[in-house]
Amino acid sequence: MKFVLRKESNTPFYQQICVQIIQRIQSGMLMDEEQLPSLRTMAEDLNVSILTVRKAYKWLETKGYVFVQPGKGVYIRGKRQASSKIANPYDWQHSLAVNVQRSQYLINRQRRYYDFSQAVVYPRLLPNQFLADEMQNIVQKNRMILATYGPVQGDEELRLEITKYLKEYQGLHADPTKLVITSGAQQGIDLIAQTLLKPGDTVLVESPCYGAAIDVFTNKGINIIPIELDKQGVRSDLIDEVCQKKKPVLLYVNSSFHNPTGTLMSEKRRRELVELAEMYKFFIVEDDSFGEIYFDQITLPPPIKSFDRNGHVIYLKGFSKTIAPGIRVAAMLAEGPVFDWIYAVKSFMDIGSPLLVQKAILPILRTKRMKNHVEKLRTALQIRRDTAVEILSSLDDVVQFQVPQGGFNLWLTLTDSIDSITLLQKANEADINFLPGSACFVNEPKKKHIRISYSLLSDHDLKIGLEKLCKVIRDVQFE
């Protein structure tokens, strides 16, 4: 089993060892009662002292992750299994160094009926029939569209419509020749990482952060520095402190209704970030997937990109969340040489995003349908938010949260007596799922937080599911 220590990290070596072992336990890469390397073997492999490894194993033992058999070794804690256990032919794969610690919560899992884990809109609130009809019409009129690669940069008509959309909804003036269409915002993040980052580079992220973005940077061998949030968004004062010691390549942020916390970054903070990017010469990746979904008639600050004058901000606008998750379409706005670099990388990444889905959303953007759809979606999701807030407020002695002004999520902080992983296991038994907060942190998993997405269920199922979850939380509290 391979463990890797990042010498340049500020995290102590023993903590890095602990984090990697915990991640492997949670992802199933380390099985119950599997033996860990000896103190000497681990110390030699990592070129650290035996005392460092001993400290890591001792910490894991006190937290209940491992147990020690005197004279034999250190083992993963779990139910004892029969000695006649049949060898798994795939066990060799556990020795590979992979990073799936956050993705494990999002894929290949058993679906629960009351699913609060996915920031996805309830299907009946989306224009599915309209899109299906449009796709059918497009194919009937031009069957060759299925035999045609889309342009690397994206469909020209769509790029023109998106520039109009950004001006109307975000007040952002964009040049269609500087837009690149990607297969969702997630591909956009990966494309930026492929273009700008190399192993050992430094990236700043919000803490907590969108977990899939952390995984993208981790898998590139990047030094990730988490920056705390406050009520105005990511803390610019902490970014300034880091930049005086490190030279980050980029800062990744969710500016509007941050995933997972729902925080809306203030205009003052947005301006400060651009000033810091100019001063220390780094990029800001502004991921805006929830900006249209605001509640309570609030006025949104302009995008960070609107304050950018020198190409420091790369703006990502996702449409999958509000139109249809199955239509993976996003737009990236980048200016200066970075646009050419991104274009070149995309040309060999996928040759061009699917043309059919790009053409299918054109009628929505060109007519009042999008405006009407978004207004109805806001109303429906605000009702769901209010339902979630009302029900979860009954747990005010064990759960704390800020009421989001938009987006799809509630970020809950649990009392110290409740462990989010244990809570998830109990919730699964009650046919409930949510995202544990540990999926949203860079370093040692924090077990005091969970993310509840109120967007996926119907009004009826949302109410029942949350009431069931409240009971599970109470039961775990008194265990």
Angle (CA) 461 455 424, round 5°:
70
Do residues 242 and 225 make contact, with C-beta atoms less than 8 angstroms apart?
yes
**Is the separation of the CB atoms in 82 and 33 below 8 Å?**
no
248, 242 contact by CB (below 8 A): yes
Q: 10 Å Cβ neighbour count for 277?
A: 24
Look at residue 19 in the predicted model and tell me its pLDDT. Answer: 82
Q: Name the DSSP class of 36.
A: P
| pLDDT for 81 | 39
**CATH 3.40.640.10 corresponds to the domain 128-367:** yes
Predicted pLDDT of residue 352: 78
The DSSP bridge partners found for residue 73 are: 69
Residue ranges matching CATH 1.10.10.10 in the chain: 13-93
Give CATH 3.90.1150.10 domain extents, the chain.
114-125+370-477
pLDDT given for residue 466 in this prediction: 97
Where in the chain is CATH 3.40.640.10? 128-367
pLDDT (tens, 9 = 90+) of the chain, 479 residues, equals: 678 887 777 778 888 888 888 877 876 778 888 899 999 999 988 989 999 999 999 988 888 888 998 888 999 985 433 333 445 565 655 555 555 555 555 544 567 789 999 999 999 998 888 888 888 888 888 888 887 778 889 999 999 999 999 998 888 999 999 999 999 999 999 999 999 999 889 999 999 999 889 989 988 888 999 999 999 999 999 999 999 999 999 999 999 999 999 999 999 999 999 999 999 999 999 999 999 999 988 999 999 999 999 999 999 999 988 888 888 899 999 999 999 999 999 988 887 788 888 888 888 888 888 889 999 999 999 999 999 999 999 999 999 999 999 999 999 999 988 888 889 999 999 999 999 998 899 876 667 899 999 999 999 999 999 999 999 999 988 76
Please report, as a single letter, which amino acid is at residue 471: K
Q: In whole angstroms, how far apart are CA 195 and each of 302, 331, 478?
A: 27, 16, 50
Q: 230: closest CA among 269, 286, 202?
A: 269
Contact indicator for 454, 381 with CB cutoff of 8 Å = yes
Three-class SS state of 414:
strand
Token representation of residue 109: 């899992």
Q: Is the dihedral of CA 449, 450, 454, 455 positive or negative?
A: positive
**Tokens in use for 301?**
């600050």
Here the tokens at position 151 are 């342009």
Cβ-based neighbour number of residue 65 at 10 Å: 20
148 is written with which tokens?
Answer: 């045609």
What's the confidence (pLDDT) of residue 107?
46
Shortest CA distance to 122 belongs to which of 328, 296, 322?
Answer: 322
CATH of domain 114-125+370-477: 3.90.1150.10
* CATH architecture assigned to 13-93: Orthogonal Bundle (1.10)
Structure tokens of 280? Answer: 């220390």
Strands 449-453 and 409-414: antiparallel
